[in-house]
Amino acid sequence: MIEIRNLTKTFDGFKALDDLNMHVRRGSIYGLVGVNGSGKTTLIKHLTGVYRPDKGEILVDGQPVYDNVGVHERMSYIADDLYFFSMYNLKGFSEYYRKLYPNWNQERYEEMVKQFGLNETQKLTKFSKGMQKQAAFILAMSAMPEVLVLDEPLDGLDPLIRRVVIRDIVEDVAERGMTVLVSSHNLKDMEGLCDCIGIISKGTMLLERDLDDLKSDVHKIQTVLPEGTKAPVDGLNVLFSEKRGSVDMFIIRGDGEEIENRFRALQPAVFDLLPMTLEEIFIYETGGDKDEFKEILF
């Protein structure tokens, strides 16, 4: 559905994106993860046609995105830094959207306004940040997009509204095959929403994996081995290790069953093999501070 090939962008000598590739399947919810300054926002602005690439291609269904009205009519975008015309209320903005998007669904718009309980006649600039996010979400979803691009979509929303937003996104993916790209710093939200993850660092894509595969491939181990016994890690891909008193701690990439069998053969007093959270994987893959990594892992 979305194909980005060898995307490169430079600003005043600084290479914000460097030969980046990304693949998003139709009907998937793709989570884009990266630290501040990694290139997430620059990538999103290319995908939404705001920036022209210096090099490379950004395609939706094989069609280039930049300056392509046909692609933009099928795409909705909610930015982190929302902007609304100062004189517009929600009703006025809906009329503006209706002219831009041929698949605009007025019935859905009216239902969502009632669902969120927003005042259509109040100026959007007078809304709180959370209410503005809700208004942007109503407008984006009522356009019935084939592609939905979200930058920090849940920021500023209370827990109940967050659940409603997530439910509506998941339903559209299931019922209409909508494709979603979401960028967020809240990795717990990403873990509960996304089925595929891309980790970006210094303008390049470190990895793209299905979330379940990514989590099942990296394991956190805490064990107490018999005294004088060496940990059976020869030949294994050990990413991190530390000893705290009698407890040995490891992060190992590989087959969980093989790893467990190796350790249990030594009859340890304690053995726990745990899957990694997305937050833990993210910190490791992006080369986070070692002390911070240890604190989160253990």
Range from 13-17, 155-159, 234-238 carrying the lowest mean pLDDT? 155-159
pLDDT by residue (tens digit) across 233-290?
999 999 889 999 999 999 998 999 999 999 999 999 999 998 888 888 888 777 654 4
pLDDT by residue (tens digit) across 49-75?
999 999 999 999 999 999 999 999 999
Confidence of residue 292 (pLDDT cuts 50, 70, 90): very low
- Kindly tell me if the per-residue pLDDT of 229 is higher than 60: yes
What does the pLDDT average to over 86-113?
95
* pLDDT in the model for residue 98: 95
* pLDDT in the model for residue 287: 66
Domain boundaries, the chain: 2-212, 217-297
CATH domain 2-212 topology: Rossmann fold (3.40.50)
Class of domain 217-297: alpha beta
Contact 221, 252 (CB under 8 A): yes
End-to-end CA distance of the chain: 39
* pLDDT in the model for residue 192: 85
Contact 65, 46 (CB under 8 A): yes
Q: How far apart are CA 180 and CA 98, in angstroms?
A: 21
Same fold, 2-212 and 217-297: no
pLDDT by residue (tens digit) across 163-185?
999 999 999 999 999 999 999 88
Range from 8-12, 15-19, 76-80, 279-283 carrying the lowest mean pLDDT? 279-283
Range from 43-52, 151-160, 277-286 carrying the lowest mean pLDDT? 277-286
Q: Three-state SS for 243? A: strand
DSSP annotation of 123 reads: B
Residues 6+ apart with CB under 8 A from 22: 2, 3, 4, 7, 43, 198, 205, 208
Average pLDDT, the chain: 92
Phi and psi for 268 in degrees, rounded to 5?
-70, 150
- Please state the separation of Cα 150 from the chain's center in Å: 9
The Cα-based distances of 1 to 104, 139, 140, 143, 269 in angstroms read: 21, 23, 19, 19, 50
* pLDDT in the model for residue 293: 43
Q: How far apart are CA 130 and CA 7, in angstroms?
A: 33
